[in-house]
Amino acid sequence: MTPTIRLHNTRTRRKEVFVPLDPANVRLYVCGPTVYDRAHLGNARPVVVFDVLFRLLRHVYGAGQVTYARNFTDVDDKINAKAVQTGRPIRDITDETIRWYHDDMDALGALRPTLEPRATDHIGGMITMIAGLLSSGHAYQADGHVLFDVRSYPDYGKLSGRSIDDMIAGARVEVAPYKRDPMDFVLWKPSDGATPGWDSPWGHGRPGWHIECSAMSFELLGPSFDIHGGGLDLQFPHHENEIAQSSCAYPEADFARVWMHNEMLQVEGKKMSKSLGNFFTVRDMLDQGVLGQVIRLVLLSTHYSKPMDWTKEKAAQAHNVLLSFLETTNGVESVEPDRHVIEALADDLNTSQAIMRLHELRKAGQGAELLASARLMGLLDFHPSTGVVGWGPIPDEQRELANRLAANWAALRQRRDFVAADSLKSRAADAGVELQAIKMTAGQGALATFGAHFDIVRLRELIE
């Protein structure tokens, strides 16, 4: 039986039955990172939330029937500033940061999106869209800039539920003398010789922030698509501006039909801040020994629409919960996910309710159903015939080597040859693999996790 998916639409402020424009091509766009530094813990929340949505849509409509696009903003003043500060080429910085991002999000068990466009690969599309807005009277040129005229779009503010005049007071807008209205926003701005730029009808310059997502979603998903997601901090001004410029560029289209926003994250009850000493990147947490699946489970324990509080206590509890799930699912073969878990996820991604059901499956000893249901949520991706766990998507060779390493280590411990076992554990750590003993139904098992500096060559040597 196909579940009915209901999602809360920020734009209409109500939960609606999700009916895709084309069930054979369900389309999702999520705003991705600006790639100048490591992703922090708050950045991970939308990645995990919309990964669960991606998995649910794939389960319902078919893996090949869902297109998920998440962009990389690789042209930005913060990136330019880091290039000046470090003396490194901009492309080196963005390539490195994208690699970091992939490594860290992989560790959280997030599937790679179908499409991961870079803004710099779509400058031509942005120029075309801006030219169209100028010709239709929705944009104007001033002091070397091209700006969007918000007063030309009567529905501006409907997403955030505020009028333009209400927004002006205390709004995060750039005050500039060349603007007709304080709320007008930049579509194109000039670049000097030291700043990256592209030739355009309005001179050598670079795009504003908001135009990139409108141009990329149009090029990749079309003028109308199903779902647009992101953090609540993007609702205004970014998403509000996206709607305005896309709706004016393609007035016959719907742009995004459903808008979804995840709430913000706190750490130990306070807003995450470097000045408070509670600012953590995902890599910080992983390097401190917090497993990626632990981070994922904590993030999913609170409904995405509610503020969530990261605490050490929650992380410790999540670790123990995952080990209890692992013990129940050891040696089973996955079946179809549990109906109640699917129904919870279909009810506006009620992950907290789904996790409660996972606990019920564990208590009932339904390991096969637990494994399938957890995997639907991106949890418990492990080799079904051993106690060796791969916390996140892991290449087959890496997984197989880890399985053999952990089996060898477990065998040494079973023979009570603890000197050899400790030596192997130490050498495994040098290769970027942590070995941990866990209690399993059938006896002692082994948990293998992978660190930031995993070395597959050294791992091969350990096996040989």
Domains detected in the chain:
11-262 (3.40.50.620), 293-376 (1.20.120), 396-463 (no CATH)
Alpha helices in 347-395 (DSSP H): 351-363, 367-376
Instruction: Please give the helix or strand (H or E) that residue 447 lies within, else none.
Output: strand 443-450
3-state secondary structure (DSSP) of residue 288 = coil
Query: 434: pLDDT confidence band, cut at 50, 70 and 90?
Result: confident
DSSP string, 216-264: HHHHHH-SEEEEEEEEGGGIIIIIHHHHHHHHHHSTTS-EEEEEEEEPP
Per cent of the chain over pLDDT 70 is 90
User: Among 360, 366, 293, 280, which Cα is nearest to 328's?
Assistant: 366
Q: Which of 74-78, 273-277, 313-317, 348-352 has the highest mean pLDDT?
A: 348-352
Q: Are 345 and 458 in contact (CB under 8 A)?
A: no
Q: Are 70 and 116 in contact (CB under 8 A)?
A: yes
Q: Can you give the pTM of this predicted structure?
A: 0.86
d(CA 158, CA 177): 27
Phi/psi for 45 (5° steps) reads -60, -50
Q: Are 38 and 104 in contact (CB under 8 A)?
A: yes
Per-residue confidence (pLDDT) for residue 393, from 0 to 100? 45
Per-residue confidence (pLDDT) for residue 66, from 0 to 100? 98
Per-residue pLDDT tens over the stretch 256-306: 999 999 999 999 998 888 778 888 999 998 888 788 889 999 999 999 999
DSSP 347: B
Query: 58: pLDDT confidence band, cut at 50, 70 and 90?
Result: very high
Phi/psi for 82 (5° steps) reads -65, -35
d(CA 249, CA 270): 41
- Write the CB contacts of 111 (distance below 8 Å, at least 6 apart in sequence): 51, 54, 55, 378, 393
d(CA 125, CA 223): 13
pLDDT over 60 at 394, yes or no: no
**Residue owning tokens 């639907």:** 376
User: Among 411, 386, 401, which Cα is nearest to 461's?
Assistant: 401
Tokens coding 313: 């206590």
Average pLDDT for 2-20:
96
Average pLDDT for 91-110:
92
Distance of CA 28 to the CA centre of its chain: 13
Cα dist from 366 to 86, 112, 183, 332, 371, whole Å: 54, 30, 56, 10, 9
DSSP 432: T
pLDDT over 50 at 387, yes or no: no
d(CA 119, CA 98): 13
Average pLDDT for 87-95:
93
DSSP 290: -
Per-residue confidence (pLDDT) for residue 389, from 0 to 100? 46
Burial environment of residue 260 by CB neighbours within 10 A (0 to 12, 13 to 18, 19 or more): buried
pLDDT over 90 at 174, yes or no: no
Per-residue confidence (pLDDT) for residue 384, from 0 to 100? 34
Tokens coding 92: 């080196």
Widest distance between CA atoms in the chain: 79
Average pLDDT for 8-33:
97
Query: 392: pLDDT confidence band, cut at 50, 70 and 90?
Result: very low
Average pLDDT for 49-63:
97
d(CA 358, CA 19): 28
Tokens coding 139: 């944009």
DSSP 184: -
Average pLDDT for 399-407:
77
Per-residue confidence (pLDDT) for residue 121, from 0 to 100? 96
Per-residue confidence (pLDDT) for residue 435, from 0 to 100? 78
Q: What is the mean pLDDT of the chain?
A: 89
Per-residue confidence (pLDDT) for residue 75, from 0 to 100? 93
Tokens coding 116: 């991961």
pLDDT over 50 at 354, yes or no: yes
Average pLDDT for 95-118:
93
d(CA 122, CA 91): 15
Per-residue pLDDT tens over the stretch 118-158: 999 999 999 999 999 999 999 999 999 999 999 999 999 99
Query: 323: pLDDT confidence band, cut at 50, 70 and 90?
Result: confident
- The residues that bridge with 30 in the sheet, in sequence order, are 70, 229
Cα dist from 127 to 146, 183, 238, 359, whole Å: 11, 21, 18, 52
Average pLDDT for 387-408:
64
pLDDT over 60 at 451, yes or no: no
